[in-house]
Amino acid sequence: MADVTLEALLQEGRTFPPSEDFARGALLRDGRLYDVAAGDPEAFWATQAGELLDWSEPWHTVLEWELPFAKWFLGGRLNASYNCVDRHVAAGHGAQVALLWEGEPGDARQITYAQLLDDVSRCANALKALGVRKGDRVAIYLGMVPELPVAMLACARLGAAHSVVFGGFTSDSLRDRINDAECKVLITGDGAWRRGNIVPLKEIADAAMTETPSIERCLVLRRTAQADVAMQDGRDFWWHDLVDAQAPECPPEPMDAEDLLFILYTSGTTGKPKGIMHTTGGYLTQVAFTHKYVFDLKPETDVFWCTADCGWVTGHSYIVYGPLANRATSVMYEGTPDYPDKERFWSIVEKYKVTTLYTAPTAIRTFMKWGTQYSDAHDLSSLRLLGSVGEPINPEAWVWYWKNIGGGNCPVVDTWWQTETGAIMISPLPGTTVAKPGSATFPLPGIGSDIVNDEGVPVPIPGGGYLVLTQPWPSMLRGIWGDPDRYRDTYWSRFEGRYFAGDGAKRDDEGYFWLLGRVDDIMLVAGHNISTTEVESALVSHPAVAEAAVVGRTDAMTGQAVSAFVILRSGNEPTDALVTELRDHVAHHIGPIAKPKTILFAEDLPKTRSGKIMRRLLRNVAEDETLGDTTTLADPSVVEGIKARYLSTSPDDEG
Ligand code: ATP
Ligand code: MG
């Protein structure tokens, strides 16, 4: 489909109801659940907890809310690994595939629920042998191999909290996270595959472990089989020696609903990462609920693929806990979208007949930049539902995804949530919600959300301001590890009695929620608040543009001026004429006030390792300041390159 047509679709303000076919087969075909939940949210969540999970001991109280501290399902006992594995095997589904694993240098493995039970039990026994006890913390630093979810579930089985650290982090980042949580054991590998190269995980872990006094033992998985992996006697143990020798039975520890399940550090888009704590009963309830209904899961027939890394919350909730609790069959992929070629994702969809794909705007914009020839070369007709998470999805990218990947037949669910929320909070329900490209639509049943102004007063519809959550939800964070004050300050002090998400949002005249970007990023130009997301989406709606980031920089005339960094789709030239055209394009779509004062063409944008644009660093560039904390950047050279080019071009050549 030509881009002109895409733009026409957007300009119509076209809405996208689910197809009749999809709606007819959907788990939820109307909005009744919203009313049920609104009537009595606690009773609603209690029903979900009872229906979706197995408890060894029932709860006596659904919710205890001492602002800002919530406890859900008090007195209830359950084990997360039992709920994700054992009970499915006990119910006769041991032969169903849990993980369809696609490895990097052409490896592939299929792991059934029965096999997963053996693997998790053996790993749990090995951790026990290494001294791990209920209440301990275990750090996990691995690539995307099946042993990563196995290790997470093994910790959950024993009642030890895991802290997964993304396998692309440096030794300093790993060290800091281990020390913050005082982890007792580190699980890592000899190496991880990355675009045909080996990331020497153990070497990096060794560097970290010179300064992690709490680590007593290290369990090492052989993945890449390099020749020289240093093993420290008494501290380091090979997985294949220790785990494989264990018995495949290990009784799951009955955990209190409020026992810590894991700590996970946020992506660090806005600053120093926070060690977010999630507990067992409420977290598992909401990830199972959202995975089932947002993705309309049919465990018998669906093949679910969430392309995130287990090092991020999306991987925790929608590769591990949600899908496994719901007995899904999932694809797990070790590599990147561009290796060995740009068709990789689409050949995986075709190979495994993926029905449900959950990915991020950063990936979708990359696919837009590359062009449609790669997806066109594959049969994607197995897909029936598409999801997006991580950043606001530009309307152009939404329609591109819907049309070129979904073939115009698949609902797209744009899901807003955070590490802190644990599970999806704002999203369409695909069988009933009429979608609008770029809008995450409505809070899910059982979720209370509002948009308020500076004083905390709800903004009437239509209107914009700060996104807040107005009532506790089961998978909410229980705090920041070791820092209750920061917990209170960050989330609960800005607006009394409400959770401040840190994101701006607006509601249109039909009450649809539109996420507008980080509050810290919002620009103030000549007295007008301008959202980064809206200017970026206007730029991306131009046929030459694949991706854009905008920031405000100090301006003598207007207080702040809009500075844009633009990546072109392949086949377009970065000319002065295009700069003028893009500025006019933004003026036409939003208004002259939003017109970027400067536009710099770039090859790439500074992103976190989870793929989010880090605007604060671009702001540093635009303001000619020294760069702030860059430790969570995927590739520090990108921002250095942009800085050099920015300084060599005159930023004030446009009026
Ligand atoms: P840090 O809190 O350390 O700065 P982070 O906020 O990037 O890092 P995450 O918890 O991974 O860490 O990301 C949550 C944020 O991602 C949200 O607050 C929001 O800004 C953004 N986000 C996620 N999904 C969406 C979405 N569907 N639409 C708009 N924004 C989204
Ligand atoms: Mg955040």
Helix 201-209 with 171-181: angle, nearest 10 deg: 50
Upper half-sphere CA count for residue 119 (Cβ side, 13 Å): 22
Give the sheet arrangement for strand 499-507, strand by strand. Answer: 449-452, 463-469, 499-507, 513-518
Mean pLDDT score of the chain: 95
Report CA(247)–ligand 1 centroid distance (Å): 41
For the cut 70, the answer to whether the pLDDT of residue 81 exceeds it is: yes
Instruction: Say if CB 317 and CB 288 are below 8 A apart.
Output: no
439 lines ligand 1 (CB under 6 A): no
Of the candidates 441, 378, 427, which has an alpha carbon nearest to the alpha carbon of residue 407? Answer: 378
Question: Confidence band (pLDDT; 50, 70, 90) for 629?
Answer: confident
What average pLDDT does range 257-286 have in this prediction? 95
Residue with tokens 């009784």: 251
- Measured CA to CA in angstroms, residue 41 lies from 44, 472, 610 at distances of 5, 10, 33
d(CA 229, CA 227): 6
Report pLDDT for 632.
87
The residues, ordered by sequence, that sit 6+ positions from 58 with a Cβ below 8 Å of its Cβ are 75, 76
Does 416 contact ligand 1 (Cβ within 6 A)? yes
Residue 275 in contact with ligand 1 by CB distance below 6 A: no
Whether the Cβ atoms of residue 412 and residue 386 lie closer than 8 Å to each other: yes
Q: Two tokens at 524?
A: 């103030």
Look at residue 228 in the predicted model and tell me its pLDDT. 85
Which residue out of 424, 532, 612, 633 has the highest number of ligand 1 atoms within 8 Å of its CB and is therefore the one to mutate?
612
Contact 68 CB / ligand 1 (< 6 Å) = no
At 210 the pLDDT is 98
**Measured in angstroms, how far is the CA atom of residue 444 from the centroid of ligand 2?**
20
Position 654 confidence tier, pLDDT thresholds 50, 70, 90: very low
pLDDT value for 648: 81
pLDDT of residue 650: 54
Tell which residue, 642, 643, 641, 639, has the closest CA to residue 630: 639
Instruction: Convert the pLDDT of each residue in 41-54 to its tens digit.
Output: 999 999 999 999 99
**Ligand 1 centroid vs 501 CA: distance in angstroms?**
9
Instruction: Give the pLDDT score at 10.
Output: 55
Averaged pLDDT, 386-406: 97
503 close to ligand 1 (CB < 6 Angstrom): yes
pLDDT tens-digit readout, 5-40: 445 545 557 899 999 999 999 999 999 999 999 999
109 Cα–ligand 2 center, Å: 34
- DSSP secondary structure string, 319-332? IIIHHHHTT--EEE
Query: In the predicted model, what is the mean pLDDT of residues 331-350?
Result: 97
Nearest ligand 1 atom to the CA of 533 is 29
pLDDT at 483: 94
Which residue, by CA, sits nearest to atom 30 of ligand 1?
A: 391
Q: Is 537 in the pocket of ligand 1 (CB under 6 A)?
A: no
Q: What number is the average pLDDT over the span 213-217?
A: 98
As residues whose CB is below 5 A from the ion ligand 2, the structure lists: 266
Q: Which residues of 234-262 are buried (b: 16+ CB within 10 A; e: fewer)?
A: eebbebeebbeebeeebebbebbbbbbbb
Provide the pLDDT for residue 4.
39
| Cβ 515 under 6 angstroms from ligand 1 | yes
Ligand 1 site, residue 598, Cβ cutoff 6 A = no
Q: Whole-model pTM? A: 0.96
| Residue 653, pLDDT score | 47
Pocket test for ligand 1, best of 418, 481, 532, 630 (most atoms within 8 A of CB): 418
Q: What would the mean pLDDT of 70-90 be, rounded to a whole number?
A: 98
> What is the token pair recorded at 315?
């991987």
pLDDT tens-digit map of 466-496? 999 999 999 999 999 999 999 999 999 999 9
260: nearest Cα among 185, 162, 194: 162
* pLDDT at residue 32, rounded to an integer: 97
CA 280 to chain CA mean position, Å: 19
**What pLDDT is recorded for position 343?**
97
- Which percentage of the chain shows pLDDT scores above 70? 97
Q: Determine the average pLDDT of the residues in 106-112.
A: 96
User: What does the DSSP 8-state code read for residue 402?
Assistant: I
Mean pLDDT confidence for 531-550: 96
Task: Tell the residue nearest (CA) to atom 15 of ligand 1.
Answer: 418
Residue 632 Cβ < 6 Å to ligand 1: no
C-alpha distances in angstroms, 157 versus 215, 392, 448? 20, 36, 32
Say if residue 550's pLDDT is above 70. yes
